[in-house]
Structure 1
Amino acid sequence: MSTSSDATAALLADARAHQAAEQAAAAALLRTAADWADLHPPVEDVAEATWQGSPSGVPLAGPGAPAVDGACVAELAAALRCSTDAGTALIGQALELRHRLPRLWELVHRGEVPAWQARRVAARTMALTPEAAAYVDAQVAAVVGRVGPTQLDRLITTAILRFMPAEAEQQRLAAADGRRFDIHHDRDGTSSGLAEVTGWLDLPDALDLDAAVTDGAQALAEAGCHASLDVRRSMAVGELARRQPAFDLTTSSDSEPATPSEGAGAPVPRPRVPVTLYLHLTAESLGSGTAPGWVGNTGTPVTAGQIRDWCGRPGSRITVRPVIDLNTDQTVPGYQVPERIREHIALRDRTCVFPWCSRPAHPRPLRTARSDGEPGWSTDADHIVPFGAGGPTATDNLAPLCRRHHRLKTLHGWRYRRTAPGRYLWTSPHGLHFTRGPDGTPPGSTTGPPPAAATAPRTWTITLPPDARPRERDPVPTG
């Protein structure tokens, strides 16, 4: 019995020691991040010293904290095996704590407050004035890190009301601009082809939408749908979207005379732009095969049955575009990258190929990507070997890079090369090496031979116009 008690006590002591070591290491990492920022002050009087199109000295923390050469962030982030955004947050929160929350900074390094709690506070105080941040620092330090998220939000609000009255009034007047409506597409296949919808609406709009969805669910039931009320409500939202794809605020008196069935003033419906689904699947799955595929729009893995279900919807018109064989390289003369090659490399690599970057590489321009409303690409098509140095405009010399990491490669000493299909070897300005693997393989050590390249499935692009008819369930094709 005593032996068991001794072992239990030893394990508890070990657990506390490991936790203390973890907290000490996290505090040391914050200090290292701040020291890294000190070694990289803004670069002055250098035309190329810009970060994301702005002067290289970027404020990563709140007013009063020093600016940093933004180009230094990616290398530290890559060394820590995290994204550039995560590295930006780490350095910014370290500077926020050291310069604007000194009481909390000291408590972290005395081991009285875990670093993760201090970082949570720092992330929330960056928008505050120095006076408001000092107030939060004093209040949080007084309770030695026992502030939960709700209490912290209340404390931040109190600081804004007390020390930033003009900002508080501006927030009140701008509250209506916080209305939004978001559709969260399934990114990893765990939702089986479903999508979550969230939003904030004015109360009258919310009540109207609720009533419309309720009416639609009832109409589906009357049409013979036997699904549950929750399922019918979700289906009703889709029916609303198909029947009102875009607003038309003109009436028949503004355009064409109304027909008797429309009635005076009835809006003339506009045709909906078809939705293009990029469905990737092997040839054997086109029939009754079971090999999985994935949706290029969202990067979501789906079953072959789900793809056949989508393609077999009643009333759908399916257009199969020419197949893009990702195993065949394409080359064009000149520097400009045509759309078909952009589409090829986006479908091949799926994301920006910088270490730990997950920005999607969409195979078509995004309709709202540019400030002028014109379509824009989510990533740049980068010549791995620069065109001016003899690099061809070819799929085996092009890779998708987001604009941030494209600038790092072009202006700030990063370089990379393609070692195998879907695999890239990156070198940082200080000589660190990172391997970016295919299909989300985590980048890491460069030791050992690269794995053999898998045969890429053929890519089918299918345009699916909407089915406007109420239905209980879409039938699955039999052959």
Structure 2
Amino acid sequence: MTKHRTDAAATLLADVRAHRAAENAAAAAVLRIAAEWADLHPPVEDDFVASSTLGGRPTGAPLAGEGTPEVDEGCIAELAAALRCSTDAGTTLVGQALELRHRLPRLWALVHTGKVAPWQARLVAGRTIGLTREAAAFVDDQVAAVTGKVGVTQLDRLITTAITRFMPAEAERQRVEAEEKRRFDIFPDQDGRRHGLAEVVGVLDLPDALDLDAAIGAGARKLAEAGVDKSLDVRRSMAAGELARSQPALDLTTTSEPGPLGDPADQPHDPTTTSSATGPASTTLRPHRAPSQVTLYVHLSADVLTGGSQQPGWVGNTGTPVTADQIRDWCGRPDTTITVRPVIDLNTTSFVEGYEVPDRIREHIALRDRTCVFPWCSRPAHPRSMRQRSDGTDTWSTDADHIKPFAQGGETSTDNLAPLCRKHHRLKTHTRWRYRMLALGHYEWTSPHGLRFQRGPDGTNALSEDRRPPTPQARPPRALTARRRDAVPTG
């Protein structure tokens, strides 16, 4: 019975893989036909050139990027009708097909050899339409090597990184524009359906958001220590209210030269006063209490901080790319203390006796692998805890897993440890998922029914069933410099 069930499961897995391959091949053929349809229908007059649409209305923007052919607007509706989709959807399809064929040729070729799913290539094409030819070619070179191995979030980060490197002025313009979208809104209960609750929605600068998260987390722990028997989510909500009541307004403290009554600090303080009759004054913002310290990991070259380089870095807390100007802005704040940590050589092996994994080794493997190393998982392996348990101890976003179990002789060392999110750690522990390290940062996974996957710094590869396990690679020169921001905010 067990053998029959295993054989049936293996057959189903083989079938679903074959159907997905057929689905991708069909979608690739539709892209090719869309591009050929456009070739057959050049515009007869300038007034009938197709443009991208938004909400059914033409935007005037071209269907695809610079260097792609124009298309007669009347032909798209017919193609869309044949595909049983809206004209807007047909317009997007034709534009992305032209973008891929003319400006992203490597991706176009990978789509038609079955190595990249058409939907992933279309995602890239949609992002590159507004770029110059040079920038699009750069994205094509960078993305073609990893598309199909990574998820949507990782792909989006990679494209953003490429734009930041190749078009720093445009990246900075987008950053400044995004800063103007910061907001903080409170929507109170208007009709009683929320039972007196209110929704809070905000868009904050990353350091401010981390500071707020740390303050609320500290408040939630204090409530637990005070005997509040509620879930963590409820206590965090309560802590936000306590934070508001303890800091009802900014403390606009006036400082001035000592007057007849002595030091101004000894005199009664009126928070509405911003000047003094006894001499020149300055207004400063002072917190009512010392906030929690927040660590923000930013990885970058030394030249970035001095302005000698525009090469972007990335934020270890979130894994997102960040421009050099943004890094300099964060580091230049008066409330920021910069601690430059020594280079952590990720190619060395560190180990300890016993089962427990110390923070320094957790940090090492988190910096090396950056995310959970399960196939296609993108859960960040934060090098420092972003939250703590109610007892104040660290909680990491991923577990440090012994690849060879400790009970079977596996060491607590960096070459036998990898970050796994809790879900995938449980899968590895309680099911027949297994993996091994091929080289530092490179892993081979085997599913319960024998499917194999390679996971590395560039993402995941699905291995064919008859392929032999790859030979372990030489250790790559991937040492990183970790830089830390210890932020002590002023409010």
Larger strand fraction of residues: 2
Identify whether the pair has TM-score above 0.5, normalized to the shorter chain: no
Normalising to structure 2: TM-score of the pair?
Answer: 0.44
